[in-house]
Chain A
Amino acid sequence: MSTPEPAVEWLDSEPDQAGIDRQRLAGLLFELARAINRDFAAKVPSLLPADPRLAELRTILMGREQALLARLARRLDDPEQLAAAVSQVLPSAIVQAAARDERLGQVLAPTVERAAESSIRRDPRALVGILSPVMAPAIRRSIGEAIESMLQSLNEALKASFSWRGLRWRLEAWRTGTPFATVVLQHTLVYRVEHVFLIHKESGLLIEHVAADPAASRDPQMVSGMLSAIQDFVRDSFADHAGGEVDAMRLGELLIWRSDGPHAFLATVIRGKPPESLRERFESTLAQIHVERRHALQHFDGDTAAFPGLRDQLAECLLKQAKPRDRRASPILWGFLFALLALLAWGAYAWYERHQEDAQWAAYLRRLQAEPGIVVTGAERRDGKLYVTGLRDPLAVRPEALLDGFALAPAKVIGSWSPYQALDPAFVFKRVQASLEPLQTVELRLEADAVRAYGSAPRHWIEKARAVSRLLPAGALALDLSGVQDVDMTEVERLRASIEAQVIRFDTDAPRPAPGQEAIIDSVAAELRALAELARSLGLSMRTTIIGHADATGKDAPNLALSLGRAEVVRSLLRARGIDPDLLSVRGAGMLEPTEEGAVRDSSRDRRVSFTIRISE
């Protein structure tokens, strides 16, 4: 048993020295022994599960492939190696998968989302960092635009007229249920400084605070901290570290101004719309505080006891300016009041006018009624005009003429009159007067029972008067003409006789009147004129024949011519005196019509021109 010792020991040793699989070698040797010694083989069963020769054969035939497989298996089993291998092909695999279809994206999406979500949850700033270069300018621009549009709308509002604002306030009052006057007051307060904070610049600690209404202020220490913090926030967020301060903030009606000093700033809370000059006021106050309290400000450590008297100084900044209550609203209010007053005055005036007019109208109608020859049958007021209807004798006074005494516009009064004849004695008298042509010689009198005419009148006048009398309505006054004498025919006769009695003398054989006959011719001419006039007025026709005569001393024929010549001469003389030649005809009588028949003839009396006048109806 001593010989196997080294063998066993060798078998036991590590396999790496010779690279020999000792286990297998031992098995092979054992099998070899069994093959040599048959008895041994019969006693001891084979240790090998299969014929080792097969395995040997496999090794010989498949050795390389087995080694390759083993290497692959090792690589697959080791995560490090596998990761290294996959990482080499992953990019191109992803490219190929993505190019083939969308499945890769769909499969990866939930995972990527989860990853992003968890990443953001863990550290949102990463995302903020990525997005801020993109978002910040957009946000900034949008804020800028909002501010600009706000300014623009403010401008628009300012541009809008009083009436617009008034309307808006009215609407606001209606909407909020507050009295209009209150709303106006709210809006008409120009501004009021409600709080003044003096704040230490570095720490944001409050140095001093004053308020217009101390009861309304909240913890000023916290407010001042918040004011500083908000400003830091705004500056850090939007100012791009470009320095500068947020010098104004606005919240509805509240405005917060910041005035800056080297060590402290003044934050003023103002309600309303302060003028820019107010800022100067704050800045000068702040500057003064810095000058006077430089040391205290420089070394401020939160102890406000180092600032005695500061309160009073700040209280001077609590300014306010109220507008005179109604000055703004006045144009509308006054306009409205004025319009109302004007309306009232107009109404009152119209009422008074109307009243006056009614009274005048009634009086006018009474006056019309009282007027003879006018009968009012209706009166009304329509469309602002006054209508009166009735009857009117054409001889009556014109109704318009009666308006003179009344305060009525003639254009407003419209009369519509039907003509009629009034039977009042006065009217009958008037009508008779109007119907007859006036005559100097006739006088008309209105007597109790009749209109009587007295005097003398030509016949045609008398006849016309009779016609008028007949036209008078029965039962009314009559025209009594019995007192008028017919004067016409007597005059005509007298003139005719006078003219026919006239003789114009001639010298022997002379065709022209003898000297001294001019006066007779003139007289004849005058009487002829009067007669012609009278005849014409009476409607009579008249013819005057001028007859020339000669004495008996000559022959008949020359005497006839002479007598005709004398008649012609007289005619032309009369014509020269204005007698219408148509009224005159001539005849030569020769010596046939001597003045005196028989007796002693005075031939001088035969040398003459005589006249005959014929008058016919």
Chain B
Amino acid sequence: MALQKKICMLGAFAVGKTSLVRRYVDSIFSDRYLTTVGVKIDKRMVTVGTAEVSLILWDIAGEDDISQVRASYVRGAAGYLLVADGTRPATIDVAQSIQQRVEAEVGKLPFIVLLNKRDLQSLWSVSGQDIVALERAGWTVRMTSAHSGEGVEQAFQTLAERVTSHP
């Protein structure tokens, strides 16, 4: 069995977490689980160096802000994807809150911020300066589009590399 890592998908409501994983992961569970159980487990295989790594993705439904991120979901995670919506700057604030809460809960973990919905150019409202500001704060920001697939593969790859090298 390959190396496995638990990865959480976190972010504000309707930022496209589920869409991000839907087309790029192996899934045996239907999206219905998100509304019924509130969580859905997917798997993404990536290759880091010579090792195969299974990213076990915990997609948690209906998380609107930090108050709803259950500690038990995040516990044991090797890293997480923090998803925000590039057309709604407010979701970046939510992401920041979540990040702080997670760090308080389980300590420092590798994470990558995904600014999703890159394909909606006309509605895009996060400026380059904003991104620079985030990166200055130590965040790794990737612009992705679940719709076109832009940046998604790389984001998973980057996170996989981080979590495998993380002690």
Listed in ascending order, the chain A residues whose CB lies under 8 Å from chain B are 123-125, 200-206, 208, 218-219, 221-223, 225-226, 229-230, 232-233, 235-236, 301-305
Is residue B75 within 8 Å, beta carbon to beta carbon, of the partner chain?
A: yes
A205-B77 Cα distance, complex, nearest whole Å: 9
A302 in contact with B67 (CB, 8 Å): no
- Asked if A229 meets B58 with Cβ closer than 8 Å, knowing A203-B75, A204-B76, A221-B43, the reply is yes
Q: Determine if B6 and A203 form an interchain contact, defined as CB atoms under 8 angstroms apart.
A: yes
Of B40, B64, B68, B75, the residue contacting A202 (CB under 8 A) is B75
Question: In the complex the two chains form, is A219's CB within 8 Å of B37's CB?
Answer: no
Distance (Å) between the CB of A562 and the closest chain B CB?
155
Given A203-B6, A222-B28, residue A304 in contact with residue B41 (CB < 8 A): no
Of residues A201, A208, A236, which shows the largest number of chain B Cβ atoms within 10 Å of its Cβ? A236
Please name all residues of chain B whose beta carbon is closer than 8 Å to the beta carbon of A304 when the two chains form the complex: 1-4
Cross-chain contact A229 with B39 (CB below 8 angstroms)? yes
For chain B, the bracket of interface size reads: 20 to 34
In the assembled complex, the Cα of A135 lies from the Cα of B40 at a distance in Å of 25
Q: Are B41 and A233 in contact (CB under 8 A)?
A: no
Chain B 84-120 per-residue mask, 1 if CB under 8 angstroms from chain A, else 0? 0000000000000000000000000000000000000
Ordered by A's residue number, 29 sampled pairs between the chains whose C-beta atoms are within 8 Å are A125-B68, A201-B76, A202-B75, A203-B75, A204-B76, A206-B1, A206-B4, A221-B43, A221-B54, A222-B26, A222-B43, A225-B6, A225-B41, A225-B58, A226-B29, A226-B39, A229-B39, A230-B39, A232-B73, A233-B37, A233-B38, A233-B39, A236-B70, A236-B72, A302-B5, A302-B6, A303-B3, A304-B1, A304-B3
* Cross-chain contact B70 with A225 (CB below 8 angstroms): no
Q: List residues of chain B with CB within 8 A of the CB of A235.
A: 72
B43 touches A219 (CB 8 A): yes
Contact with A along B35-67 (1 / 0, CB 8 A): 001111111000000000110101000001001
Indicate the member of B40, B42, B72, B77 with the most A CB atoms within 10 Å: B72
Chain A residues contacting B56 (CB-CB under 8 Å) are 204-205, 221-222, 225
| Residues of the B chain whose Cβ atoms lie less than 8 Å from the Cβ of A302 | 3-6, 53-54, 78
Q: Inside 8 A of B6's CB, which chain A residues have their CB?
A: 203-205, 225, 302
Chain A minimum-CB-distance residue to B4: A302
Of residues 10 through 48 on chain B, the ones whose CB sits less than 8 Å from some CB of chain A are 26-29, 33, 37-43
A453–B7 alpha-carbon span in the complex (Å): 138
Would B75 and A229 count as touching, CB distance under 8 A? no
- In the bound complex, residues from chain B placing their C-beta under 8 Å from that of A226 are 29, 33, 39-41
Q: How many A-B residue pairs have CB under 8 A?
A: 86
Whole-angstrom distance from the CB of A219 to the nearest CB of chain B?
6
Chain B residues within 8 Å of A201, by CB:
76
B166 to chain A, nearest CB (A): 9
The smallest beta-carbon distance between A228 and chain B, in angstroms, is: 8
- Which residue of chain A has the shortest Cβ distance to B54 in the bound complex? A221
Tell me which of B38, B40, B41, B53 has the highest count of chain A C-beta atoms within 10 A of its own C-beta: B41
- Chain B residues near A222 (CB-CB < 8 A): 26-29, 41-43, 56
Name A229's contact: one of B4, B73, B78 (CB within 8 Å).
Answer: B73
Residues of B in contact with A (beta carbons under 8 Å apart): 1-6, 26-29, 33, 37-43, 53-54, 56, 58, 64, 67-68, 70, 72-73, 75-78
CB distance from B88 to the nearest CB of A (A): 13
For residue B5, give the distance in angstroms from its CB to the closest CB of chain A.
Answer: 5
| Cα separation A221 to B64 with both chains bound (whole Å) | 27
Residue of B nearest to A200 (CB): B76
Decide: A219 and B58 in contact? CB cutoff 8 A. no
Shortest Cβ-Cβ A-B pairs, 4 listed: A203-B76, A225-B41, A202-B76, A302-B4
Q: How far is B126's CA from A215's CA once the two chains are assembled, in angstroms?
A: 49
Find chain A residues with CB under 8 A from B33 CB. 226
Tell me the nearest residue of chain B to A208, going by C-beta: B1
Closest chain A residue to B6, Cβ basis = A203
B77 in complex: contacting residue of A124, A203, A233, CB < 8 Å: A203
Roughly how many angstroms separate A221 CA and B57 CA in the complex, as a whole number? Answer: 10
The minimal Cβ–Cβ distance linking A373 to chain B, given in whole angstroms, is 101
Not counting A221-B4, A229-B73, A301-B78, a sample of 6 additional A-B residue pairs whose C-beta atoms are within 8 angstroms of each other reads A202-B75, A203-B6, A222-B56, A225-B6, A302-B78, A305-B1
The CA of A486 and the CA of B59, in the complex, are separated in Å by 143
Q: How far is the CA of A204 from the CA of B56 in the complex (A)?
A: 9
A202, B58: Cα distance in complex, Å: 13
Contact B39 A205 (CB under 8 A): no
Q: Give the shortest distance, in Å, between A529 (CB) and chain B (any CB).
A: 132
**A222: shortest Cβ distance to chain B, in Å?**
5
**Bound-state Cα–Cα, A205 to B2, Å:** 12
The interface residues of chain A lying within 8 Å CB-to-CB of B41 are 222-223, 225-226, 229
Residues of B within 8 A of A202 (CB): 75-76
- Chain B residue with Cβ nearest A232: B72
A424 to nearest B CB, angstroms? 106
For residue A230, which residues in chain B have a CB less than 8 angstroms away from its CB? 37, 39
A203: chain B residues within 8 A (beta carbon): 6, 75-78
Shortest distance between the CB of B112 and any CB in chain A (Å): 18
Give the distance to chain B from A450, nearest Cβ to Cβ, in Å: 121
With A205-B4, A225-B6 as contacts: A219 and B26 at CB distance below 8 Å = yes
Cα-based distance from A208 to B72 in the complex (angstroms): 22
Set of chain B residues within 8 Å of A305, measured between Cβ atoms: 1
- B residues within 8 A CB of A236? 70, 72
Q: How far is the CA of A206 from the CA of B42 in the complex (A)?
A: 13
CA distance A219 to B45 in the complex (A): 12
Q: Chain A's nearest CB lies how many Å from the CB of B120?
A: 21
Which of A218, A230, A233: most chain B Cβ within 10 A?
A233
Assembled-state Cα–Cα distance A204/B40 (Å):
13
Q: Separation in Å of the B104 CB from the closest CB of chain A?
A: 17
Contact of B28 with A218 in the complex, beta carbons under 8 Å: yes
Contact: A229 with B28, CB < 8 Å?
no
Q: Which of B5, B28, B53, B72 contacts A219, CB < 8 Å? A: B28
Compute how far the CA of A229 lies from the CA of B74 in the bound complex, rounded to whole angstroms: 10
